[in-house]
Amino acid sequence: MSLPFFATVDVLDLLPQDWSTHVDRVCEQWSRRSELHGGTSTSLEPLGTVIDYRLLTGDDIAEHLPWLFELHRTSFHRIAEEISGMSLDPDNAVTSAVNVNILDPGGDGYEWHLDSNPVTALLFLSTHTEEDGGRLELRPTDREPLSVTPCAGTLAVFDARRCPHRVSPPTQGLRISAPMNYFITGQPRHRPDDLDAALYNHNDRDVRMLIG
Ligand SMILES: O=C(O)CCC(=O)C(=O)O
Ligand SMILES: [Fe+2]
């Protein structure tokens, strides 16, 4: 559970001019409530833990925020390769490739967990102060814990499969972020069987795949 790379990059100039109103509108209209449960294969929370949040799946994003879906496959892909120093492939399962997490203050959070994909790029879509909560917290075993205050337009790239991470519950302001999955070229991909059901609260594994 080490952290071989972690970097943040300002990507504001890659977002469309009206990104903020567009994201707000789509979150308002299309997000659904979900729950994270301790005890699932990637969770590090004790059994019985239930954490609320809202999300947009990749299907919602491909349809309503197509520029974000596209950035995952183009500019953000290149940035993730530069930072990780590896040849990567974007996740081509539509539902999980890009998500948007929406945490309402006063109750929502995101559990301690590991991702199943080796490289995660996380785009912050809201800005917070240190007092607002909603911090991305990482606990690598081989260095000091990291705690990142979200700043809209910043992309964080890290090895989320080996480094436990969570979002501390926001106390003020809607916290919005977009996690994006990448895999190492040529290495087998493993997605635990219960993960889609755990994240999207449905049991039918996603079958929409993009070519390439
Ligand atoms: O929303 C965040 O800041 C982190 C979420 C996360 O780690 C994930 O969706 O896997
Ligand atoms: Fe994660």
Query: Half-sphere exposure of residue 140, counting CA atoms within 13 Å on the CB side?
Result: 13
- Segment-wise mean pLDDT, segments of 10 residues, the chain, 212 residues: 81 98 98 93 92 96 98 98 96 95 96 94 97 95 91 96 94 97 91 80 49 48
The set of long-range contacts for 142-146, using a CB threshold of 8 Å and a minimum separation of 24, is 142/2, 142/3, 143/2, 143/3, 146/3, 146/6
Which of 42, 53, 101, when mutated, tests ligand 1's pocket best, judged by the most ligand atoms within 8 Å of its CB?
A: 101
pTM over 0.80? The answer is yes
Is the CB–ligand 1 distance for residue 165 below 6 Å? yes
pLDDT score of 14: 98
Which of 126, 167, 176, 182, when mutated, tests ligand 1's pocket best, judged by the most ligand atoms within 8 Å of its CB?
A: 167
Domains annotated on the chain, with CATH: 6-195 (2.60.120.620)
Rounded to the nearest angstrom, the distance between the alpha carbon of 117 and the centre of ligand 1 is 12
ipTM: 0.98
